Amino acid sequence: ANFSEQVVESFPSDISTGIYYGWACVGNGDVHKMVLSIGWNPFYKNIKKSVETHIIHVFKEDFYGEILSIVITGYIRPEKNFDSLEALISAIQEDIEEAKRQLDLPEHLKLKEDNFFHLPEGKLVNNH
C-alpha cells in the first residue's frame, strides 16, 4: 500500500530513509503488523521519495481509496541498493520476519490497541 505524493511530502523531513515496522489499519478494519519502506528505492531508481507499506496480512479484496492509518514503532535498517531482484526479495523477507519478532514484544504489542486506530469516523489527525 503506497501513500500518495501529498502524504509523503507531509512526512517529517528529518525522518531517515530505511525500513521500519509497526502497525497498520485499513479503513475501520483490524490492526495488522506492517513493514514500511521510506526512501527512493534505489533498485528501481525512483526519482521521487516514496512511502510503501507492506501489511503482513492477506486481504480478500483490494482496498484502493481506503484510508490507511499507521503507527511506526521501530527501525530495522537503512535503505540500500541490491545487486539483483532475488537479493531484494530476500531482504524484504528478512525485514518481515524481523518486524514480526519485534511486534510480538510487549512494548510494541500494546500499541496495536492504541486509540489512534479507533478514532470516531470523520475525525482527522494532523489534517490526514
- At 67 the pLDDT is 87
- Buried (b) or exposed (e) across 99-119, using 16+ Cβ within 10 A? beebbeeeebeebbeeeebee
The catalytically annotated residue of 52, 98, 107, 121 is 52
Q: What is the CATH number of the domain that holds 86?
A: 2.40.30.30
Structural domain boundaries enclosing 99: 5-117
The structure's pTM equals 0.85
User: Residue 121: its pLDDT value, please?
Assistant: 58
Task: Domain count for the chain, please give it.
Answer: 1
Classify residue 64: in a domain, yes or no.
yes
Q: Is 107 a catalytic residue?
A: no
Q: Is residue 128 part of a domain?
A: no
Give pLDDT, residue 119. Answer: 67
